[in-house]
Chains A and B, each alone.
Chain A
Amino acid sequence: MTGTTTERRLELRIAHLLRSGTYVGCLAIGLGLILSWFDGGHTARLGQDIVAAGIALFILLPVLRVTLMLAAFLKQRDAYFAMAAGIVLAVIIISCAVGWLMRP
């Protein structure tokens, strides 16, 4: 059953991605917050940027996960599920465009 083992491999890769991404994101936010508590311009500003990067990473993680699934389904020539993953990515991109265009 090659079908189930490739599926299993995909599940494990996703688990690994989400787990390590969570570690990095948490570390970035924690470190950034501590730096941002230093008084005075430079260090504090760097800290805030690191916090923002950690937040951006968390938002990006699920998107990366969908991309991983899209690639896997394309490789398996699984049209149904590749299409579903493609639609999800497209909706997220449209949502990004909406947010960017409506910025104050």
Chain B
Amino acid sequence: MSVGFELWLFAIALGTSALGGVLGMASGIFIVPVLTMFGHIDIHTAVAASLVSVIACSCGSAAPFLLGRLTNIRLAIVLETATTAGALTGVLLAGLVPVRLLFLLFAAILIVSGLQMLARRREATARADGRWARWRLDSSYPDRVLGREVAYAVHRVPMGMGLMYGAGLISALLGIGSGVLKIPAMDVALKLPIKVSSATSNFMIGVTAAASAAAYFLHGAISAPIAGPVALGSVLGAVLGARLLMKVPADKLRLMFVVILFALAVQMALGAFGIALTQGGTT
């Protein structure tokens, strides 16, 4: 692996992660398409490398959410039983799913993510129904805007667990944080306040990705010269993105983000049939 290629990996990870950070979303979804389509890296190697950066970003950004009491760690550990079980299933399936299908699945996830970005998330109206009260998952968080403690209750836990299982499976197969599935699980099924759902989802992503990344690591599927620069770039990019958060008009950026997601989806779909549009990258 050449120094130039490692620097290219680092720069790509830094850039996409900063872009994602500005919009307050994880950029793990860009890494696999970029590595496979532009870097001409095998998809399994790209997925494994991406998982490491997904973990690194989750760990790197967890502290402020925890200190701000936005993360519901009890809910997280319960949902993680489902996400890690999904990840284990993904590890078992990884070798069996044809590469072509992985590309198509990725294209589909990119499109759904793009559509999700266009439709703004709406704050769920939480009204305790008491059904899950004895599980002690309900909590409260300090809302800075309202300037008071906001109590919330958790709804439809089984449905949330089901979606989380799917999120873990997709995460292990495609090397992403699976926000695509976690957001509907948190917003629609569990009906959490957006801030709590973002913080808790980010917290869970690390363990979910670690469940599959540990298997890939022991399997020897993680290439250090690829995963290293990507992880480092992603963490630094996320820090940079959070700093820029206030200074960039979010709406234009959001639209640009969606356009990139759709363009990558087209490329991944074409890639599934062995059609490469790009000659870029250095191998």
Question: A88-104: which residues lie under 8 A (CB-CB) from chain B?
Answer: 88, 91-92, 94-96, 98-100, 102-104
Asked if residues A12 and B217 are in contact (CB atoms below 8 Å), the reply is no
Residue of A nearest to B168 (CB): A91
- Asked, given contacts A84-B81, A88-B81, whether A96 binds B224 with beta carbons under 8 Å apart, the answer is no
B219 adjacent to A99 (CB under 8 Å) = yes
The 8 A CB mask of B227-253 against A (1 = contact, 0 = none) is: 111011001100000000000000000
Task: Determine if A74 is an interface residue (Cβ-Cβ < 8 Å).
Answer: no
The answer to whether B207 and A62 touch across the interface, beta carbons within 8 angstroms, is yes
Interface residue? B276 (CB, 8 A): no
Tell me the nearest residue of chain B to A103, going by C-beta. B219
Check A15/B215 contact, CB under 8 A, given A65-B207, A66-B80, A91-B85: no
Residues of B69-117 whose CB lies within 8 A of A: 69, 71, 73-74, 77-78, 80-81, 84-85, 87-88, 91-92, 95
For residue B60, CB closer than 8 A to chain A, the reply is yes
Specify the main secondary structure of chain A where it touches its partner.
Answer: helix
Which residues does A use to contact B, with CB under 8 Å?
7-8, 10-12, 14-16, 18-19, 21-22, 25-26, 29-30, 32-33, 36-37, 48, 51-52, 54-56, 58-63, 65-66, 69, 80-81, 84-85, 87-88, 91-92, 94-96, 98-100, 102-104
The answer, yes or no, to whether B67 is at the interface (CB within 8 Å) is yes
Cβ of A65 to closest chain B Cβ, rounded Å:
7
Q: B66 within 8 Å of A by Cβ?
A: yes
- The answer to whether A11 and B52 touch (CB under 8 A), given A84-B80, A91-B85, is no
Whether the pair B219, A88 counts as a contact (CB closer than 8 A) is no
Chain B window 36-72, contacts with chain A (Cβ cutoff 8 Å), 1 for yes, 0 for no: 0000000000000000100110111011001101010
Main secondary structure of the interface of B (DSSP, over half): helix
Given contacts A62-B206, A92-B214, A99-B217, 18 further A-B contacts (CB under 8 A): A15-B62, A15-B66, A18-B66, A25-B59, A26-B232, A29-B231, A32-B228, A58-B55, A59-B214, A60-B210, A62-B58, A63-B207, A66-B207, A80-B135, A81-B74, A91-B211, A98-B91, A103-B219
Q: Please state if A29 and B228 are interface contacts (CB–CB under 8 Å).
A: yes
With A14-B62, A48-B225: A91-B81 Cβ-Cβ less than 8 Å? yes
| Given A58-B52, A62-B206, A102-B95: A81 and B214 interface contact (C-beta under 8 Å) | no
